[in-house]
Chains A and B, each alone.
Chain A
Amino acid sequence: MSNYAIETQGLQRDFKTLRAVDNLSLSIQAGSIFGFLGPNGAGKTTTIRLLLGLLEPSAGEAQVLGYDIRTQAPEIRQACGALLENHGLYERLSAEENLEYYGRIWHIARRERLQRQQNLLESLGLWDRRKEAIVEWSRGMKQKLAVARALFHHPRLVFLDEPTAGLDPVAAASLRDDLGQLAMQEGVTVFLTTHNLTEAEKLCHQVGVIRQGRLIAVGSPEELRNRSSVPRVEVRGSGFSEKLISELNSRPEVKTISLRNGSLWLELNAETSVTPLVSLLIAGGAQVEEVRRDKASLEDVFLTLMEEEK
């Protein structure tokens, strides 16, 4: 059996004149958390719909947990869980009833259903409010419940479509923590779409960047940062005169230089020793307090990739 939970080859989906997913080829390791990054309308949701067999591809092939998306869509849906664009909860029903419904749909025995409800709701901090109609709940609580529903039947793979979208930073961080913990406990493969780069950086083992339906980069957050970023150095201190800055700028190893919040930011042309540059600063009368090598964040990489694609 393949080590990959998801494999796609040249997957494509057209809507009239729009190509929503374009020649997508991906392999996602079983048991990993994969982040699918892209701006709005990049094709993330369409990809999930294709992988769940809810939409037919226009071209290409894909296997999810070894099942073909064209011919074995029911088997895929049987083995997967999903939290799609909307939380999909029945707001007139209570949290308990929402989980009960999906537990019954997945033919989970009554005793196990009750136990599972308690485990999941307790670990998400929702147990005490399980009998309330969820129409009264905050968006963050509903999203947590939707995550519980997606994991309720112990799926081998779970699709989460922008799970923290629209949440305030505290709720988003709380959901992110719960998600990471639950995914680890359950040993489930997670396919997560997001345009929140912090989320991807914190949660994902591997990320793919999609733009206008095309996959433009894939790798671990670390690999992407290394691949796309230039070496950067932050020099904290004072006395960075214009003359010194222009002198530094004329050095061949310096690509760009800028002064922000009292720190001097240097982008270098290659990984090189910064000792000569620091010596130059000190000799020029600057007081250097701290020198720190810095890597570009995933956000920098993402923005660079988007820029390059334009």
Chain B
Amino acid sequence: MIRDIVTILWKELKEILYQRGRLRGGWVGLLIIVGVFGVFMPLQSGPEWVESPLPLILWSWVPFVLVGGVIADSFAGERERHTLETLLASRLSDQTILFGKIISAIVYGWSLALACALLSLVTINAAYGKGNIIWYPPLTAIAIPIFSFLIAATASGLGVLISLRSASVRQAQQTFSLAYFLLFVPVFVVPILPEKIKATFLTWLVNANFTQIGIAVALILILVNIGLISVAMMRFKRNQLILD
């Protein structure tokens, strides 16, 4: 099964990176992402980019966006380009195809986010280091790979579920964009909360143990991911996919 998943990963990454039908293909897109998050933004922000709590939020958000950009294509794209039935007629098992698609998106989003995080360190040190090494705070350094992985997995699981039932890539992308909207719900909701609740929340936040919160959020994400993948496994039916 692992060998087959690697095969799917090989093909998916090739399709993402070598979009030969388009000018210069996916490499241009990749370079833009790396340039913006690994060079341009760190240069604009200065050492804050590394030392503040901002990177943890950013490196959790970036894989969500990156995975979202490719996962809609996983099944809806194969269906739209009429390659799905041939894939389903191959020797690959249901689980292999499903996990192959999920893992490919995770690998793409997670590795790119980590590459950007490392490059931004290089950028900050080169521009502002002055002989000293500027590094993420230890807990942040541990949390970045963990959270960016878990968020990439959430986006991948959710995206596959949507893509499985979407008639076209466009429809899958539109449905997935609702998930982006959910990310911004706190931004809209917090300002309209009653003052008393806001004050209680702030007090809790100031006194909170971030390590414990981090562990709790990670556990919640793990449960969410298990749930999403389980539902996707239940909804992956060759019979249904052929007729869709």
Contact = CB atoms under 8 A, between A and B. Distances in A.
Contacts of B14: 93, 97
Q: Chain B at the A interface: mostly helix, strand, loop or mixed?
A: helix
Interface stretch (A31-39, A103-111, A283-291): A103-111
Given A90-B15, A90-B83, A92-B21, 13 more contacts: A54-B85, A54-B238, A77-B90, A80-B89, A84-B86, A86-B83, A88-B82, A91-B81, A92-B19, A93-B11, A97-B11, A97-B14, A105-B90
A13 B239 CA distance: 12
A255 interface: no
A138 to B, nearest CB: 16
Contacts of A52: 89
Nearest to A94: B20
Interface string B214-244: 0000000000000000000000001100110
Nearest to B241: A54
Interface of B: 3-4, 7, 10-11, 14-15, 18-21, 81-83, 85-93, 238-239, 242-243
Contact of B20 (A80, A92, A107): A92
B86 A82 contact: yes
Interface string A57-93: 0000000000000000010011010111111111111
Q: Identify the interface centre among A87, A91, A92: most chain B CB within 10 Å of its CB.
A: A92
A85 to B, nearest CB: 7
Contacts of A53: 238
29 contacts: A54-B88, A54-B239, A55-B239, A74-B91, A77-B89, A78-B91, A80-B89, A82-B86, A84-B89, A86-B82, A86-B86, A87-B82, A87-B86, A88-B82, A88-B86, A89-B83, A90-B15, A90-B83, A91-B81, A92-B15, A92-B18, A94-B20, A97-B11, A101-B10, A104-B10, A105-B90, A106-B90, A106-B91, A133-B21
B70 to A, nearest CB: 13
B91 A93 contact: no
Nearest to A83: B86
A32 to B, nearest CB: 21
A80 B88 CA distance: 12
Interface residues of A, number: 33
A104 B21 contact: no
A154 interface: no
A49 interface: yes
Contacts of A91: 21, 81
A234 interface: no
B7 A101 contact: yes
A160 to B, nearest CB: 12
A127 interface: no
A82 B95 CA distance: 21
B242 A54 contact: yes
B85 A86 contact: yes
Nearest to B81: A91
Contacts of A104: 7, 10
A105 B85 contact: no
B65 to A, nearest CB: 22
A112 to B, nearest CB: 16
Contact of B11 (A54, A86, A101, A133): A101
A93 B82 CA distance: 15
A106 B92 CA distance: 9
Contacts of B3: 107
Contacts of B88: 54
A206 to B, nearest CB: 23
Nearest to B16: A92
Nearest to B87: A88
Contacts of B10: 101, 104
Contacts of A94: 20
A53 B93 CA distance: 12
Contact of A105 (B15, B83, B92, B239): B92
B91 A82 contact: no
